[in-house]
Amino acid sequence: MGLVLLLVTFLVVFGIVVFILLFGESPSLRNGIVGKINRWLTHSAPRGLSWILLKTLGKSNLDKMAKGWAYCCESRNPFLQTFFILLSASAISGYLYYALPHMPGPFLNEIHYVIIPIQIITLYVVYYVACTANPGHITKDNLQKHLDYYPYDGLIFKPKTCNTCNLQKPARSKHCPMCKVCVGRLDHHCSWLNQCVGENNQRYFFYFLFTLVEFCAYGAYLCFQVYRGMILEWGIDRAFVRDKVTGEQVPITFRKAFLYVLHRDRIIGAIGILATVVSLVVSIFLIYQLYLASLGITTNEAFKWELVEDSIDRGELFKMIPIKDKSKQQAKSPKTLSRRNLAASKVKEGYEEVLIKSFDEVKNIYDKGVIGNLKEVFIPPRFD
């Protein structure tokens, strides 16, 4: 049980750290314990580690390590792709070597000899497509089509030029410093795919997530059924144990029988636990991504909307509306505007500035309804 407990603990801690790194800077979390841990992990800890390494290794060795860090964590590299392939291939090989001899069994028939290879091939084919599909690079040839399709909302997207690509940035696009290119309707940069997830490959990203969830859930099911069969094969279901309270011999419970098999055959159990945890974690992430997509929001835009909501809560966001009362319009001449309005808001003549009190007053112009939003993801517009 020690190895299994260690694996579960590692996966849980890893998931918590990833969550803190991804969401610790969001307005809703940055002022709490999650934000404090995020700042420690991203600022305090690296500075402290750099100081220790500088004192122990010297500046030249530290510079070499910095270059290695920049390649591993700040540029495109196949490390996580290689890790995924090796981890999944190891789990599959372990199952085929240790569990396949127990098939067919009392709970698994011959049909799984056909399903298993189909599952393996599908997983790697979908992963290859997700890794190689163009996410939607912005080029001089398709720039105008992007500008025509995605209007600026004047709130989270305003006309600006990408200094790196020397191109106007269409609304909903973002320059990826790792891919070194602007991507249309960028969702996020995925290190597992070694490229961005954008307007053209987000559907393949969803296909991969769904395939991975289904593949791991199926693997966990197979491991569980193999263990059930081993309980019958070893005759543990007919065993008796001594009750600690009464001292009498009582039939062994399924839980104790299952734990006994897990203790005797840890490899299959470890594979099953790994598959279960990955399936649960990825399914939660998949649901979250589908939820954002159904709202017409990307992961990148979700952080922008959180900043907008935070500005509303602090009373810093205003909107300009036409002045219907002419007498009020004359009184609201540019001479009577405050310095803040003149410098920051630039209120036009004939308009007045009104404080936005609720996030419900702000409209997402990119929201086309649930069906329209999902259609845009799975049947994206063509810009070539």
pLDDT at 6: 73
pLDDT at 352 over 70: yes
DSSP label of 381? P
Annotation marks residue 190 as catalytic: yes
What are the strands, taking DSSP E only, across 154-311? 161-162, 167-168, 174-176, 181-183, 188-190, 195-197, 240-242, 249-251
pLDDT at 89 over 50: yes
Q: How many CA atoms lie within 13 A of 51 on its CB side?
A: 6
Structure tokens, 222: 């197979």
309-350 pLDDT per residue, tens:
888 888 888 877 777 654 544 444 343 333 344 344 455 666
pLDDT at 248: 82
pLDDT at 346: 55
Active site residue: 176, 179, 182, 190, which one?
190
186-202 pLDDT per residue, tens:
999 999 999 999 999 99
Average pLDDT over the chain, rounded to an integer: 86
Q: 11 or 270: whose pLDDT is higher?
A: 270
Torsion of CA 328, 334, 340, 344, to 10 degrees: 110
Q: 270 or 18: whose pLDDT is higher?
A: 270
pLDDT at 75 over 90: no
Please write down the long-range contacts of 235-239, taking CB distance under 8 Å and 24 or more positions apart: 236/260, 236/261
Q: Would you say the pTM of this structure is higher than 0.85?
A: no
